[in-house]
């Protein structure tokens, strides 16, 4: 697809929050995929605030990025944390430059060990309400162009609207209920990834990709599929191995 077609597809995905079986976790992983494709970055992560206002990792494009984002939350440092606090974007941060990383040296060191050279963080914000941050990582020392920044913020804004809309429709509580469901779903998905990876003796990334492909090809909600796997209601032999 062209860039314009992919942006339109992202908008359509956001409209799909109106349907009853909307899966927030799968939507945010699709957002990661679209950012990778549209912005030519190496990896993407999405953090959202929980009902107590604390940042939680909800989606990441791969396992290494997931662990890096969890490290940022544990140490309470990094561009994503600063972006959420201020509600403003942190762009074109060189992880190889001491001046750029003086405020978060531990995060920068871990990010370099993961293989990243540049990072960006964009707020997921509607008016004065910041619900999270969209984090981009690149293995190259490469800045985002002005056009890329606009695309990235547009994707973050679309995701924000989808999240808030879903919370309002499903629960009538724009602050709390959907995040609780998303955090619960995240735990179920992580458990299912671990079960499948252990049985197949493969990576968590391969296990997750297989689960997502199976859910889409059978028109199943990702979270529901993972619950079936954990409960033993789904035979893992039915899922095509990577």
Q: Which domains does the chain have, with CATH numbers?
A: 3-173 (3.30.450.40), 186-238 (1.10.10)
Rounded to a whole number of angstroms, the CA Rg of the chain reads 17
pLDDT band, residue 172 (cuts 50/70/90): low
At 97 the pLDDT is 95
User: Average model confidence (pLDDT) for the chain?
Assistant: 87
Strands (E), the chain: 43-49, 55-60, 90-94, 118-126, 129-138
- The pair phi, psi for residue 129, each rounded to 5°, is -100, 115
Residue 95 CA: distances (Å) to CA of 104, 112, 223: 10, 7, 35
* 10-14, 31-35, 38-42, 105-109: least confidently modelled range: 10-14
At 101 the pLDDT is 94
């Amino acid at each position: 697809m062209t860039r314009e077609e992919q942006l339109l597809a992202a908008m359509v995905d956001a409209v799909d929050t109106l349907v009853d079986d909307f899966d927030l976790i799968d939507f945010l992983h699709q957002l990661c995929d679209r950012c990778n494709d549209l912005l030519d970055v190496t990896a993407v992560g999405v953090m959202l605030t929980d009902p107590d206002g604390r940042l939680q990792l909800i989606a990441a494009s791969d396992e290494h990025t997931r662990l890096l984002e969890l490290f940022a939350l544990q140490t309470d440092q990094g561009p994503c944390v600063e972006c959420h606090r201020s509600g403003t974007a942190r762009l074109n941060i060189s992880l190889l430059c001491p001046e750029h990383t003086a405020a978060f040296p531990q995060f920068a060191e871990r990010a370099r060990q993961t293989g990243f050279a540049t990072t960006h963080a964009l707020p997921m914000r509607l008016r004065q309400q910041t619900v999270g941050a969209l984090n981009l990582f690149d293995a190259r020392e490469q800045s985002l162009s002005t056009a890329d920044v606009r695309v990235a913020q547009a994707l973050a804004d679309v995701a924000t609207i989808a999240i808030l809309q879903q919370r309002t429709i499903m629960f009538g509580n724009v602050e709390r209920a959907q995040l609780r469901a998303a955090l619960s779903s995240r735990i179920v998905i992580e458990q299912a990834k671990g079960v499948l990876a252990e049985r197949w003796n493969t990576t968590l990334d391969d296990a997750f990709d297989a689960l997502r492909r199976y859910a889409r090809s059978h028109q199943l909600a990702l979270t529901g599929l993972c619950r079936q796997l954990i409960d033993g209601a789904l035979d893992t032999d039915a899922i095509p191995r990577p």
